[in-house]
Structure 1
Amino acid sequence: MSRRSFEVPTAEQVGSDSRVILERLKKHLGEVPNLYATIGYSSHALKGFLEFEDELNHGIFSGKEREAIALIVSEVNGCAYCLAGHTEAAIKRGFSKAETIAIRKGEVENRKLYATLQLAKSIAENKGVPDESLLIRFFMAGYKEEAVIELIGLVAARVFTNYIYATTNIPIDFPEAEPLDAIF
């Protein structure tokens, strides 16, 4: 049985609340990514997700760190859409293409980022129950409880978008990220 793809909705195919939000996104980003347009089928999901993500953007983790977290969680979930979008965003934030690949593999030299990525990966892989040693390593890297909670929030935000793509199979509107198994 083949999976049906969702259509990416036009502005006329979403409710007025979503239309307003998507128009703001278009002004801010220059275009509306297919993922956000698709979330727009539900104005409540779109508004809630964007508000949640915006709050996390003002938290402990820098923009570069948030992109690294997005990359490793999207790698765990095999989300080609989010890997494409967050690879592009990570490069815009200052990572090289090679660094984005290393992040996806969990192979970074920065001790603090390594602890963060390993914990995020464990949270995603183990449905919120990370390996205790990784949690200890995270605290030893200088983080406090607040950072654990925000990290869980960042993982949850990516799981949401990863699952949107997995369910809808919408077209990817970013340059695709290479699968790790295709990289030597």
Structure 2
Amino acid sequence: MSRLPLNTIETAPEASRPFLQKALAANGFLPNLVASLANAPVALETYLTVAEINARSGLTLAEREVVQITAAAVHGCGFCVAGHTAVALKKAQLPAALVEQVRAQGALSDARLDAVAVFTRAVIASRGAVSDDALATFRRAGFSDANALEVVLGVSLATLCNFANNLARNELNPQLEAYRWDRQAASDTRAA
């Protein structure tokens, strides 16, 4: 059970209602993340606005989803891992085996996406102060300096929703149950 109220369009603060309607139309259901963020209209607006901006970045949808799943796994946000797994499989059309590699935080079979995942983890671990080698490796994988900053943008978006979910302890919506992720199970898989 969520520690924060899960709003509906009817129960949300007036300023959150247009954003909830937009999220409902986009998803076909109201994700619990959005329902809990509605408690703070500015937080909900920020999340949806930054998500729209992130979607315009020079990274492909697949690359952006690797950033999101990687950050969510590092931050221990099972809700976001599940949600972005659905997007990675359904919209980005990534192979299931590759998505599982991202979720497990291991090496990826796709070298370009592996570079994104490795760089994302470096950005998070160093709070952006990545080593010269990490940045050079990312560039050698074919990414630009703009792409490096777009990874930071993606991590910023992920941090907002990951931390909000971790604070709220939001349960998965039934629509995301098939994509459930558990940090301990993922750690056990890496150790095996």
TM over 0.5: yes
Alignment partner of 1:110 is 2:113: no
Q: Indicate the SS of the match to 1:151.
A: helix
Structure 2 counterparts to residues 99-138 of structure 1, below 5 A: 99-104=98-103, 105-138=105-138
Quote the Cα distance in structure 2 between the aligned partners of 1:161 and 1:129.
22
Report how far residue 150 of structure 1 moved: 0.9
Report how far residue 98 of structure 1 moved: 2.0
- Tell whether the 8 Å contact from 1:91 to 1:97 is kept in structure 2 after alignment: yes
How many residues get paired? 182
Q: Indicate the SS of the match to 2:10.
A: helix
Quote the Cα distance in structure 2 between the aligned partners of 1:8 and 1:21.
14
Quote the Cα distance in structure 1 between the aligned partners of 2:38 and 2:147.
30
Give the aligned residue type for 1:34: N
* Structure 1 match to 2:145: 145
Q: Indicate the SS of the match to 2:130.
A: coil
* Structure 1 match to 2:86: 88
Give the aligned residue type for 1:65: E
Structure 2 counterparts to residues 31-42 of structure 1, below 5 A: 31-42=29-40
- Tell whether the 8 Å contact from 1:72 to 1:106 is kept in structure 2 after alignment: no
- Tell whether the 8 Å contact from 1:73 to 1:159 is kept in structure 2 after alignment: yes
Residue identity (%):
22
* Structure 2 match to 1:98: 97
Q: Indicate the SS of the match to 1:13.
A: coil
Report how far residue 182 of structure 1 moved: 4.4
Q: Indicate the SS of the match to 2:47.
A: helix
Q: Normalising by structure 2, what TM-score?
A: 0.87
* Structure 2 match to 1:51: 49
* Structure 2 match to 1:181: 187
Unaligned runs of 5+ in 2: none
Report how far residue 91 of structure 1 moved: 1.1
Q: Indicate the SS of the match to 2:4.
A: coil
- Tell whether the 8 Å contact from 2:69 to 2:102 is kept in structure 1 after alignment: yes
- Tell whether the 8 Å contact from 1:87 to 1:177 is kept in structure 2 after alignment: no
Structure 2 counterparts to residues 69-88 of structure 1, below 5 A: 69-88=67-86
Using the TM superposition, name which of 102-111 and 159-168 deviates more: 102-111
Quote the Cα distance in structure 2 between the aligned partners of 1:14 and 1:130.
40
Unaligned runs of 5+ in 1: none
Report how far residue 97 of structure 1 moved: 2.8
